[in-house]
Amino acid sequence: MNKTRLIFFALVLLALIIVGTSFLIQQLSGSIPNPTAQPIQVRVIAALPIEAWVQDAAQKFNAERRTLEGRTIVVTVTPMDSVTALGKWDRGEFTQSASTVPTVWIPDSRYLVELVNATYSTKLGRDVFLTDGEYRARPLVTSLFSWGMYKSRADALERKFGKDNINWKTIHDAAIAKGGWQELGGERAWGYFKLIVPNPRKNAAGLLAMVAAAGEYYDKTTITTEDVTNPQFQKWLKELMGAVTDFSSLSSYTVEDLALFGYSVGDGGQLLESDLLVNMQGIQTRWADPLVIVYPKYLTWFDFPFTIWMGTETSAVEKNAALQFQKFLLSAPIQSAAAARGFRPANTEVSISGPDSLFVKWKDQGAKTLVPSTARMRAPDRDTLQTLLRWFDLNVAK
């Protein structure tokens, strides 16, 4: 074999080595999908108020066919109210096998994550959802509890109790008015005051509404089991909750019920700001009486944290794939889509003060881009929550 031919074969071999090495690097970096590899499944359990936004984002994410380590990432989203999810975590139903444990849980509030950590810290001696580091729980968006009430009813209550005086105590007084709306300065045809509270067994907002009511009753931001079991408070709370028309008929989407069925659902209640904003147009279109929004003294925040399960049931690559979806949800275009649904974005690059903002559109109805500094309700412990739910089951649920 002559020298020229040897050089030729050497160059071909070198080229093959370079191409092979390049392909291997690309495979390892995930830039080229491996058609024979199984997709990486990222299973997401999402709280009801945020599920539609997360579902839409997952469809966009999947359409881009993103990869990791040469495998396509596939995100599936299952809606589930946080009270039900909390029970499943407590009973170990999610962790029965690798196929049933969610890769990601997005509950209504961070305090629910802390409750699950408390349970598993006792069992395992460690947290299963992290509070720091790369895999820490990170809020995706926020929304506030606010009073949503038909304007005619809000005007009557302000004439009766004073301007800017719509709160749980005055709502309680309205609830027990024997003469109904006529006694409150409204019209006789309105009947009795009808309170709107989401069903605590179907929606975490219903449970937190009772927590907020207790906060105003005691005029403090933290409530305890001792507060909940106080007979005087229980009497007051039962009178208040008695103004709800029928818990059994309310769905998990209370504001949607309000938009569809109007006054028959209720006159007003403390509801999620995002739900009120996104349904405001439908309510004005369907009903002559628009809603107004009033922010309470004691604010309850919903921060919808993206929490990655750190147990051994999910692999490192699944956890890292979840991180990719988290970054996608926090990107400016997807956060803008959340703002269009009435949420306050976690990404500070996304404004809610623009001309297309729901907060700006409905400012005359009371919506605020900046809420004045008020007290923030603190998350109660597990025993207090369970006591409230038990009280509800025994005294209110039908």
Neighbours of 221 (CB within 10 A): 12
Domain shared by 212 and 158, yes or no = yes
Q: Are residues 310 and 296 in the same domain?
A: no
On whether residue 76 sits in a domain, the answer given is yes
Same-domain pairing of 274 and 387: yes
Give the residue from 147, 84, 83 showing the smallest Cα distance to 298: 147
Q: What's the pLDDT score for residue 398?
A: 60
Residue 212 lies in a domain: yes
pLDDT tens for the chain, 398 residues: list them.
Answer: 555 555 555 554 655 555 455 444 444 444 455 655 799 999 999 999 999 999 999 999 999 999 999 999 999 999 999 989 999 999 999 988 878 899 999 999 998 998 899 888 888 888 899 988 999 999 999 999 999 999 999 999 999 999 888 999 999 999 999 999 999 999 999 999 999 988 888 888 888 999 999 999 999 999 999 999 999 999 999 999 999 877 666 556 678 878 788 888 889 999 999 999 999 988 888 888 889 999 998 899 999 999 999 988 899 999 999 999 999 999 999 999 999 999 999 999 999 998 889 999 999 999 999 998 678 898 888 899 889 989 999 998 76
What sign does the dihedral 148-153-154-160 (CA atoms) show? negative
Phi, psi angle pair for 320, to nearest 5°: -70, -35
In a domain, 30, yes or no: no
Domain count, the chain: 2
The verdict on residue 207 lying in a domain is yes
Q: What pLDDT, on a 0 to 100 scale, did the predictor assign at position 254?
A: 76
Q: Based on the fold, state whether residues 109 and 173 are members of the same structural domain.
A: no
Same domain, 233 and 151: yes
Same domain, residue pair 289 and 311: no
Question: Do the domain assignments include residue 205?
Answer: yes
Same domain, yes or no, for 238 and 311? no
Q: From CA 44, how far away is CA 41, in angstroms rounded?
A: 10
* Helical H segments across the chain, by residue range: 3-29, 48-63, 82-91, 110-124, 151-161, 168-175, 180-183, 204-218, 225-228, 231-241, 254-261, 273-286, 316-329, 332-339, 358-361, 382-395
* Same domain (yes/no): 182, 317: no
Cβ atoms of 234 and 223 closer than 8 Å: no
225 and 382 in contact (C-beta within 8 Å)? Answer: no
Same domain for 291 and 263? yes
At position 115, the amino acid (one-letter code) is L
**Within a domain: 307:** yes
CB 80 within 8 A of CB 139: no
pTM for this prediction:
0.86
Report the alpha-carbon distance of residue 347 to residue 113 in Å, rounded.
21
Q: Structural domain of residue 49, as residue ranges?
A: 40-129+303-330
CATH number at residue 147: 3.40.190.10
Q: Are residues 174 and 320 in the same domain?
A: no
